[in-house]
Amino acid sequence: MKNRKVCLVVGASSGIGKAAAEALAGRGHRVYGTSRDASRVTTANVVGLDLEINDDHSIREAVGKILEAEKRIDAMFYAAGFYTAGAIEETTPEQIHQQLDAYFVGAHRVTRALLPHFRKVGAGRLLYMSSNAGDAALPYHAIYSCSKAALQIYCDGLRYEVEPLGIQVSYLQNGGVKTGAEASFRRAAEPVAAYDGPRDRAIAAFHRMQQKGPEPKAIGATVADAIEARTMKPVIRADNFSKLIGFLGAVMPAKLFRSQLRKSLDIA
Ligand SMILES: NC(=O)c1ccc[n+]([C@@H]2O[C@H](COP(=O)([O-])OP(=O)(O)OC[C@H]3O[C@@H](n4cnc5c(N)ncnc54)[C@H](OP(=O)(O)O)[C@@H]3O)[C@@H](O)[C@H]2O)c1
Protein backbone atom coordinates (compact mmCIF):
# COMPACT_ATOMS: atom_id res chain seq x y z
CA MET A 1 0.00 0.00 0.00
CA LYS A 2 1.23 3.49 -0.92
CA ASN A 3 1.58 5.80 2.10
CA ARG A 4 1.22 2.90 4.51
CA LYS A 5 1.95 4.30 7.96
CA VAL A 6 3.28 2.62 11.05
CA CYS A 7 0.92 3.63 13.86
CA LEU A 8 1.01 3.22 17.60
CA VAL A 9 -2.36 3.31 19.35
CA VAL A 10 -2.04 3.57 23.12
CA GLY A 11 -5.09 2.06 24.82
CA ALA A 12 -6.27 -0.16 21.97
CA SER A 13 -8.03 -2.92 23.92
CA SER A 14 -11.29 -1.03 24.31
CA GLY A 15 -13.44 1.90 23.25
CA ILE A 16 -12.07 4.75 21.16
CA GLY A 17 -8.50 3.43 20.94
CA LYS A 18 -9.76 0.05 19.78
CA ALA A 19 -11.97 1.70 17.14
CA ALA A 20 -9.03 3.82 15.94
CA ALA A 21 -6.77 0.76 15.68
CA GLU A 22 -9.50 -1.06 13.77
CA ALA A 23 -10.01 1.85 11.34
CA LEU A 24 -6.28 2.27 10.72
CA ALA A 25 -5.68 -1.46 10.22
CA GLY A 26 -8.78 -1.64 7.99
CA ARG A 27 -7.20 0.99 5.73
CA GLY A 28 -4.04 -1.05 5.38
CA HIS A 29 -1.76 0.72 7.86
CA ARG A 30 0.61 -1.24 10.09
CA VAL A 31 -0.88 -0.90 13.58
CA TYR A 32 0.51 -1.64 17.02
CA GLY A 33 -2.07 -1.40 19.79
CA THR A 34 -1.38 -1.41 23.50
CA SER A 35 -2.98 -2.60 26.72
CA ARG A 36 -1.67 -3.44 30.15
CA ASP A 37 -2.21 -6.99 28.89
CA ALA A 38 -1.44 -7.38 25.19
CA SER A 39 -3.75 -10.41 24.94
CA ARG A 40 -6.68 -7.99 25.33
CA VAL A 41 -5.81 -6.39 21.98
CA THR A 42 -7.95 -8.61 19.81
CA THR A 43 -8.50 -6.54 16.65
CA ALA A 44 -7.59 -8.25 13.38
CA ASN A 45 -4.26 -7.09 11.93
CA VAL A 46 -3.35 -5.11 15.04
CA VAL A 47 -0.21 -6.25 16.85
CA GLY A 48 -0.77 -6.21 20.61
CA LEU A 49 1.91 -4.80 22.91
CA ASP A 50 2.07 -4.59 26.70
CA LEU A 51 2.26 -0.99 27.88
CA GLU A 52 1.59 0.58 31.27
CA ILE A 53 1.19 4.33 30.98
CA ASN A 54 2.70 4.94 34.44
CA ASP A 55 5.88 3.05 33.60
CA ASP A 56 8.57 4.64 31.41
CA HIS A 57 10.35 1.32 31.03
CA SER A 58 7.30 -0.45 29.59
CA ILE A 59 6.63 2.49 27.23
CA ARG A 60 10.21 2.54 25.96
CA GLU A 61 10.17 -1.22 25.55
CA ALA A 62 6.99 -1.06 23.43
CA VAL A 63 8.36 1.78 21.28
CA GLY A 64 11.68 -0.10 20.94
CA LYS A 65 9.90 -3.24 19.72
CA ILE A 66 8.10 -1.32 16.99
CA LEU A 67 11.28 0.45 15.87
CA GLU A 68 13.15 -2.85 15.81
CA ALA A 69 10.48 -4.50 13.66
CA GLU A 70 9.51 -1.58 11.38
CA LYS A 71 12.53 0.76 11.57
CA ARG A 72 10.06 3.63 11.91
CA ILE A 73 6.93 4.96 13.58
CA ASP A 74 4.84 7.53 11.74
CA ALA A 75 1.99 8.32 14.09
CA MET A 76 0.76 7.88 17.64
CA PHE A 77 -2.79 8.12 18.98
CA TYR A 78 -3.11 8.31 22.77
CA ALA A 79 -6.45 7.05 24.10
CA ALA A 80 -5.51 5.29 27.34
CA GLY A 81 -6.70 5.94 30.86
CA PHE A 82 -9.74 6.20 33.11
CA TYR A 83 -11.77 9.07 34.51
CA THR A 84 -12.56 10.22 38.03
CA ALA A 85 -15.92 11.66 39.13
CA GLY A 86 -17.21 13.29 42.29
CA ALA A 87 -17.00 16.59 44.14
CA ILE A 88 -13.61 18.25 44.31
CA GLU A 89 -13.65 18.23 48.12
CA GLU A 90 -14.28 14.48 48.06
CA THR A 91 -11.28 13.77 45.82
CA THR A 92 -8.00 12.94 47.52
CA PRO A 93 -4.72 14.47 46.29
CA GLU A 94 -3.61 10.94 45.36
CA GLN A 95 -6.64 10.59 43.10
CA ILE A 96 -5.80 13.89 41.45
CA HIS A 97 -2.27 12.64 40.81
CA GLN A 98 -3.65 9.40 39.36
CA GLN A 99 -6.07 11.28 37.09
CA LEU A 100 -3.32 13.56 35.80
CA ASP A 101 -1.06 10.53 35.35
CA ALA A 102 -3.67 8.77 33.22
CA TYR A 103 -4.56 11.50 30.74
CA PHE A 104 -1.66 13.91 30.95
CA VAL A 105 1.60 12.58 32.39
CA GLY A 106 1.07 9.20 30.69
CA ALA A 107 0.69 11.01 27.37
CA HIS A 108 3.88 12.90 28.14
CA ARG A 109 5.76 9.68 28.89
CA VAL A 110 4.75 8.25 25.50
CA THR A 111 5.59 11.53 23.76
CA ARG A 112 9.09 11.60 25.24
CA ALA A 113 9.69 8.03 24.14
CA LEU A 114 8.73 8.90 20.55
CA LEU A 115 10.26 12.34 20.03
CA PRO A 116 13.90 11.25 19.59
CA HIS A 117 12.83 9.11 16.61
CA PHE A 118 10.50 11.76 15.21
CA ARG A 119 13.21 14.44 15.51
CA LYS A 120 15.74 12.18 13.82
CA VAL A 121 13.55 11.62 10.77
CA GLY A 122 12.03 15.12 10.81
CA ALA A 123 8.46 13.81 10.74
CA GLY A 124 5.78 12.24 12.92
CA ARG A 125 2.25 12.76 14.17
CA LEU A 126 1.12 12.99 17.76
CA LEU A 127 -2.64 12.83 18.26
CA TYR A 128 -4.19 12.80 21.73
CA MET A 129 -7.74 12.00 22.82
CA SER A 130 -9.17 14.88 24.78
CA SER A 131 -12.81 15.74 25.48
CA ASN A 132 -15.15 18.72 25.63
CA ALA A 133 -14.29 18.55 29.33
CA GLY A 134 -10.94 20.08 28.35
CA ASP A 135 -12.62 23.37 27.45
CA ALA A 136 -14.98 23.74 30.42
CA ALA A 137 -15.28 22.23 33.89
CA LEU A 138 -18.01 19.60 33.83
CA PRO A 139 -19.91 19.67 37.14
CA TYR A 140 -18.71 16.90 39.47
CA HIS A 141 -16.17 15.86 36.83
CA ALA A 142 -13.82 18.79 37.40
CA ILE A 143 -10.70 16.72 38.06
CA TYR A 144 -11.30 14.88 34.80
CA SER A 145 -11.73 18.29 33.15
CA CYS A 146 -8.44 19.47 34.71
CA SER A 147 -6.57 16.54 33.20
CA LYS A 148 -7.99 17.24 29.73
CA ALA A 149 -7.36 20.99 29.99
CA ALA A 150 -3.75 20.20 30.96
CA LEU A 151 -3.44 17.87 27.98
CA GLN A 152 -4.80 20.50 25.59
CA ILE A 153 -2.46 23.24 26.81
CA TYR A 154 0.38 20.70 26.63
CA CYS A 155 -0.46 20.07 22.96
CA ASP A 156 -0.61 23.79 22.22
CA GLY A 157 2.80 24.26 23.83
CA LEU A 158 4.37 21.22 22.24
CA ARG A 159 3.25 22.36 18.80
CA TYR A 160 5.41 25.52 19.09
CA GLU A 161 8.45 23.39 19.81
CA VAL A 162 8.17 20.47 17.42
CA GLU A 163 6.25 21.82 14.43
CA PRO A 164 9.45 23.47 13.11
CA LEU A 165 11.02 19.99 13.29
CA GLY A 166 8.37 18.50 11.01
CA ILE A 167 6.24 16.97 13.78
CA GLN A 168 2.48 17.55 13.88
CA VAL A 169 0.50 17.72 17.13
CA SER A 170 -3.29 17.60 17.55
CA TYR A 171 -5.96 16.78 20.05
CA LEU A 172 -9.39 15.44 19.42
CA GLN A 173 -12.65 16.14 21.22
CA ASN A 174 -15.88 14.17 21.16
CA GLY A 175 -19.12 14.02 23.13
CA GLY A 176 -20.33 10.87 24.93
CA VAL A 177 -19.38 7.59 23.25
CA LYS A 178 -20.52 4.10 24.18
CA THR A 179 -17.28 2.49 25.43
CA GLY A 180 -15.93 0.52 28.38
CA ALA A 181 -15.06 3.72 30.28
CA GLU A 182 -17.94 3.48 32.75
CA ALA A 183 -16.63 0.14 33.98
CA SER A 184 -13.27 1.61 34.99
CA PHE A 185 -14.27 5.08 36.24
CA ARG A 186 -13.26 5.96 39.79
CA ARG A 187 -15.47 7.71 42.31
CA ALA A 188 -13.95 10.36 44.55
CA ALA A 189 -12.76 8.39 47.56
CA GLU A 190 -13.95 10.46 50.53
CA PRO A 191 -17.71 11.11 50.18
CA VAL A 192 -19.22 14.20 51.81
CA ALA A 193 -22.97 13.89 52.38
CA ALA A 194 -23.62 17.55 51.46
CA TYR A 195 -22.92 16.67 47.79
CA ASP A 196 -24.93 13.40 47.69
CA GLY A 197 -27.89 14.51 45.54
CA PRO A 198 -26.24 16.61 42.82
CA ARG A 199 -23.10 14.46 42.70
CA ASP A 200 -25.07 11.26 42.14
CA ARG A 201 -27.29 12.91 39.54
CA ALA A 202 -24.30 14.37 37.69
CA ILE A 203 -22.50 11.02 37.65
CA ALA A 204 -25.67 9.27 36.43
CA ALA A 205 -26.18 11.93 33.73
CA PHE A 206 -22.58 11.53 32.56
CA HIS A 207 -23.06 7.77 32.30
CA ARG A 208 -26.28 8.30 30.33
CA MET A 209 -24.40 10.55 27.87
CA GLN A 210 -21.99 7.68 27.25
CA GLN A 211 -24.67 4.98 27.07
CA LYS A 212 -26.79 7.05 24.67
CA GLY A 213 -23.77 8.09 22.64
CA PRO A 214 -22.73 6.48 19.36
CA GLU A 215 -20.52 3.43 19.06
CA PRO A 216 -16.85 4.50 18.75
CA LYS A 217 -16.60 3.44 15.08
CA ALA A 218 -17.11 6.97 13.68
CA ILE A 219 -14.44 8.47 15.88
CA GLY A 220 -12.07 5.67 14.84
CA ALA A 221 -12.56 6.78 11.24
CA THR A 222 -11.89 10.41 12.27
CA VAL A 223 -8.59 9.36 13.83
CA ALA A 224 -7.60 7.51 10.67
CA ASP A 225 -8.60 10.54 8.54
CA ALA A 226 -6.40 12.79 10.71
CA ILE A 227 -3.43 10.47 10.44
CA GLU A 228 -3.84 10.23 6.67
CA ALA A 229 -4.49 13.95 6.11
CA ARG A 230 -1.77 16.06 4.58
CA THR A 231 -1.90 18.28 7.66
CA MET A 232 -3.68 17.52 10.92
CA LYS A 233 -5.89 20.30 12.28
CA PRO A 234 -4.59 21.40 15.69
CA VAL A 235 -7.99 20.77 17.29
CA ILE A 236 -10.31 18.16 15.85
CA ARG A 237 -13.91 18.41 17.03
CA ALA A 238 -15.04 15.01 15.89
CA ASP A 239 -18.82 15.16 16.30
CA ASN A 240 -21.55 17.80 16.01
CA PHE A 241 -21.93 17.97 19.79
CA SER A 242 -18.27 18.96 20.19
CA LYS A 243 -18.54 21.51 17.39
CA LEU A 244 -21.64 23.02 19.06
CA ILE A 245 -20.08 23.10 22.53
CA GLY A 246 -16.90 24.67 21.13
CA PHE A 247 -18.97 27.35 19.39
CA LEU A 248 -21.30 28.03 22.34
CA GLY A 249 -18.38 28.17 24.76
CA ALA A 250 -16.84 30.88 22.61
CA VAL A 251 -19.94 33.02 22.01
CA MET A 252 -22.35 32.44 24.91
CA PRO A 253 -22.23 34.59 28.03
CA ALA A 254 -20.44 32.55 30.73
CA LYS A 255 -23.46 32.56 33.05
CA LEU A 256 -25.73 31.10 30.38
CA PHE A 257 -23.12 28.54 29.33
CA ARG A 258 -22.72 27.37 32.93
CA SER A 259 -26.46 27.05 33.35
CA GLN A 260 -26.59 24.87 30.20
CA LEU A 261 -23.86 22.67 31.65
CA ARG A 262 -25.84 22.38 34.91
CA LYS A 263 -28.87 21.22 32.93
CA SER A 264 -26.83 18.73 30.93
CA LEU A 265 -25.44 17.20 34.09
CA ASP A 266 -28.88 17.21 35.80
CA ILE A 267 -28.03 19.63 38.60
CA ALA A 268 -30.06 22.65 37.42
N1 LIG B 1 -16.28 7.37 26.23
C2 LIG B 1 -16.60 8.64 26.07
O3 LIG B 1 -17.77 9.04 26.17
C4 LIG B 1 -15.51 9.63 25.75
C5 LIG B 1 -15.89 10.87 25.23
C6 LIG B 1 -14.89 11.81 24.93
C7 LIG B 1 -13.57 11.50 25.17
N8 LIG B 1 -13.23 10.28 25.69
C9 LIG B 1 -11.81 10.02 25.92
O10 LIG B 1 -11.41 8.94 25.10
C11 LIG B 1 -10.31 8.25 25.71
C12 LIG B 1 -10.61 6.77 25.72
O13 LIG B 1 -11.78 6.56 26.45
P14 LIG B 1 -12.69 5.25 26.24
O15 LIG B 1 -14.06 5.67 26.60
O16 LIG B 1 -12.40 4.64 24.93
O17 LIG B 1 -12.10 4.35 27.44
P18 LIG B 1 -11.99 2.77 27.63
O19 LIG B 1 -12.97 2.04 26.75
O20 LIG B 1 -12.10 2.55 29.10
O21 LIG B 1 -10.49 2.43 27.14
C22 LIG B 1 -9.41 2.84 27.90
C23 LIG B 1 -8.13 2.21 27.36
O24 LIG B 1 -7.06 2.65 28.21
C25 LIG B 1 -6.27 1.53 28.59
N26 LIG B 1 -5.69 1.77 29.92
C27 LIG B 1 -6.36 2.09 31.05
N28 LIG B 1 -5.48 2.23 32.07
C29 LIG B 1 -4.24 2.00 31.56
C30 LIG B 1 -2.93 1.98 32.12
N31 LIG B 1 -2.70 2.23 33.42
N32 LIG B 1 -1.88 1.69 31.30
C33 LIG B 1 -2.10 1.42 30.00
N34 LIG B 1 -3.31 1.41 29.40
C35 LIG B 1 -4.37 1.69 30.18
C36 LIG B 1 -7.24 0.36 28.59
O37 LIG B 1 -6.51 -0.83 28.38
P38 LIG B 1 -6.36 -2.03 29.45
O39 LIG B 1 -7.42 -1.86 30.51
O40 LIG B 1 -6.57 -3.26 28.61
O41 LIG B 1 -4.97 -1.88 29.96
C42 LIG B 1 -8.12 0.70 27.37
O43 LIG B 1 -7.53 0.21 26.19
C44 LIG B 1 -10.14 8.91 27.08
O45 LIG B 1 -9.13 9.87 26.96
C46 LIG B 1 -11.47 9.59 27.32
O47 LIG B 1 -11.37 10.70 28.17
C48 LIG B 1 -14.17 9.35 25.97
Q: Tell me if 1 is assigned to some domain.
A: no
Whether the per-residue pLDDT at 125 is higher than 90: the answer is yes
In the three-class reduction of DSSP (H, G, I as helix; E, B as strand; rest coil), residue 201 is classed as helix
Q: Tell me if 245 is assigned to some domain.
A: yes
Q: Tell me if 251 is assigned to some domain.
A: yes
* Predicted confidence (pLDDT) per residue in 144-176, tens digit: 999 999 999 999 999 999 999 999 999 999 999
Residues in contact with ligand 1 by the CB-under-6-Å rule are: 11-17, 35-37, 40, 51-54, 79-83, 103, 129, 131, 174, 176-177, 179-181, 184, 210, 213
Q: What does the alpha-carbon distance between residue 113 and residue 127 come to, in Å, rounded to a whole number? A: 14
Q: What does the alpha-carbon distance between residue 174 and residue 11 come to, in Å, rounded to a whole number? A: 17
* Predicted confidence (pLDDT) per residue in 28-85, tens digit: 999 999 999 999 999 999 999 999 999 999 999 999 999 999 999 999 999 999 999 9
Ligand 1 nearest atom to the CA of residue 144, by list position = 47
pLDDT for 184 equals: 94
Q: CATH no. for residue 224?
A: 3.40.50.720
| φ, ψ dihedrals at 76, nearest 5° | -130, 135
pTM for the whole structure: 0.98
Decide the pairing of beta strands 235-237 and 186-187. Answer: unpaired
Q: Is 4 exposed, middle or buried (0-12, 13-18, 19+ CB in 10 A)?
A: exposed
Whether the per-residue pLDDT at 2 is higher than 90: the answer is no
Q: Tell me if 175 is assigned to some domain.
A: yes
CA of 187 to the centre of ligand 1 (A): 16
pLDDT for 180 equals: 86
CA torsion 233-235-241-245 (nearest 10°) is -140
Domain total in the chain: 1
What's the domain range around 13?
6-264
Q: 91: closest CA among 217, 216, 186?
A: 186
Q: Which residues pair with 9 in a beta bridge?
A: 33, 77
Q: Tell me if 41 is assigned to some domain.
A: yes
